[in-house]
Copies of this chain bind each other. A is one copy, B any other.
Amino acid sequence: MINVGIIGATGYAGEQLVWILNNHSKVNIEFISSYNYSNERYSEIYNNYYSFFQQICIDTEEALNKLELIDVLFIALPHSKSFEITRKALQLGVKVIDLGADFRLNSEEEYETWYGAQHGYPEVLKDAVYGLTEVKREEIKKSSLIANPGCYPTASILGLAPLLKNSLIDDRSIIIDAKSGVSGAGRAATIGNIFSECNESIKAYSVGKHRHTPEIEQELGKVSGKDIILSFTPHLVPMNRGILATCYSRLKNKITKEDVLELYRNFYRNEYFIKIIDVLPETRWVKGSNLCHIGIEVDSRTDRVIVVSAIDNLIKGAAGQAVQNMNVMFGIEETKGLDFVAMFP
């Protein structure tokens, strides 16, 4: 049994962690903590847990006092909140899977540039592993600190890695136009998150400056062996869950769609959660699953390849991938607790 603690259990990513881990046959949830709901019963915050999960949220301080009871700590907090918690956990030999942004960028300076905040624990950055399981599995096995990828980067990197690994595209030509459901904005009581403000509308936001950009560039850079600079544009779509990333790039040489598909199938041939499909992905077919669907078109008129990838932002894009990483870290079956088909409709 793996004993786990969850800090930030009442946000949407935290809630998905509880959903998955509470049903995971090798896991015991030792504690859950919350900043806004400490001392409240979890099943009264999220009524779907009524009679299924009896724990009460503790506060962060209590959580830190219980670190000795656990093997791994999941942290699902806004950026800049994980530094001290991670330090304490690691010092006690507790593994950490951070769903936030604090350890994703290898460079302290990059962090400070994009997040506008000082990095509070830079000495550990060299040991942190970017937890995109399919790309970093071997490193994850040996790591004590996983920086779980952002939701957009998960869809984007999985979609583009095979092209860059095989040097098929002009590395200055990449444009990622991504679309997310509103749960991606978190469980924050803001005017912008109100139903009537999001429903019946779509918008782009943070154009040219979204904080997931450097994360995508960093990891695709490693895959390609070159510096990657790309355009990333997120959009907000009136649905609860799902990310669709439409990824454009210029082909260096002529290649058919079939050959690109073959290359993708080969690249991901051992990956349970990545499905290269013959048609174009739709987020409904991955909703509620840890899967990533990838579809391809080659447009010979423009010499572009268009890769479309779809994930559930809260599962493969957050909690599911975090558990996948935990499974890898602890040497248990990678699909344990995550082997569910998308729920449709």
A343 within 8 A of B: yes
Q: Could you mark each residue 162-187 of chain A with 1 if its beta carbon is under 8 Å from any beta carbon of chain B, else 0?
A: 00000000001001010101110001
A246, B235: Cβ atoms closer than 8 Å: yes
Provide the bound-state CA to CA distance between A72 and B38, in Å. Answer: 49
Q: Is B301 within 8 A of A208, CB to CB?
A: yes
Given the interface pairs A193-B194, A293-B50, the reply to whether A202 lies near B239 with Cβ below 8 Å is yes
Q: Given contacts A46-B344, A47-B285, could you give 11 more A-B pairs where the C-beta distance is less than 8 Å?
A: A47-B279, A175-B175, A182-B195, A182-B196, A183-B345, A193-B195, A199-B240, A200-B240, A202-B237, A207-B299, A231-B306
In chain B, what residue has the closest Cβ to A22? B341
Interface centre among A194, A208, A233 (most CB of B within 10 A): A194
Which residues does chain B contribute within 8 Å of A182, judged by CB atoms? 194-196, 199
Quickly give the copy total for this chain: 4
Distance between Cα atoms of A281 and B283 in the complex (Å)? 24
Interface centre among A199, A285, A345 (most CB of B within 10 A): A345
A136 → chain B closest CB, angstroms: 23
Q: Taking the complex as formed, is A190 at the interface, i.e. its CB lies under 8 A from any CB of chain B?
A: yes
Contact among B240, B284, B286 with A345 in the assembled complex (CB-CB below 8 Å)? B240
Interface residues on chain A, number (Cβ under 8 Å): 83
Closest 10 A/B residue pairs (Cβ): A201-B284, A208-B299, A48-B342, A203-B282, A196-B345, A177-B177, A47-B285, A207-B297, A182-B195, A195-B198
Contact string against B for A residues 1-43, beta-carbon threshold 8 Å, 1 for contact and 0 otherwise:
0000000000010010001001100000000000000000000
Is A288's CB within 8 Å of the partner chain B?
yes
Quote the shortest CB–CB distance from A95 to chain B (angstroms).
26
Asked whether A212 is an interface residue with its Cβ less than 8 Å from the other chain, the reply is no
Q: Provide the residues of chain B in CB contact with A279, threshold 8 Å.
A: 47
A331 CB, nearest partner CB in chain B, Å = 24
Which residues in window 186-240 of A have CB below 8 A to B?
187-191, 193-205, 207-208, 229-231, 233, 235, 237-240
What per-residue 1/0 map shows which CB atoms of A36-66 lie under 8 Å from chain B?
0000000000111111110000000000000
- Given B50, B175, B196, B233, which contacts A12 in the complex, CB threshold below 8 Å? B196
A-side interface mostly: loop
Asked if A189 and B179 make an inter-chain contact with CB atoms under 8 angstroms apart, the answer reads no
Q: Does A267 contact B (CB under 8 A)?
A: no
Does A330 reach chain B (CB closer than 8 Å)? Answer: no
Given A231-B248, A233-B246, A248-B231, residue A345 in contact with residue B203 (CB < 8 A): no
CB-contact partner of A308 in B179, B204, B306, under 8 A: B204
Looking at the assembled complex, report how far the CB atom of A244 sits from the nearest CB atom of chain B, in whole angstroms: 5
Is A141 located at the chain interface by the 8 A CB criterion? no
**Beta-carbon contact of A189 and B190 below 8 Å:** yes
Complex partner residue of A241 from B48, B190, B200, B242, CB under 8 angstroms: B200
**Complexed CA–CA distance, A47 and B343 (Å):** 11
Nearest residue in B to A314 (C-beta to C-beta)? B345
Cα-based distance from A246 to B293 in the complex (angstroms): 23
Of A208, A275, A283, A284, which is in contact with the most chain B CB atoms at under 10 Å from its CB? A284
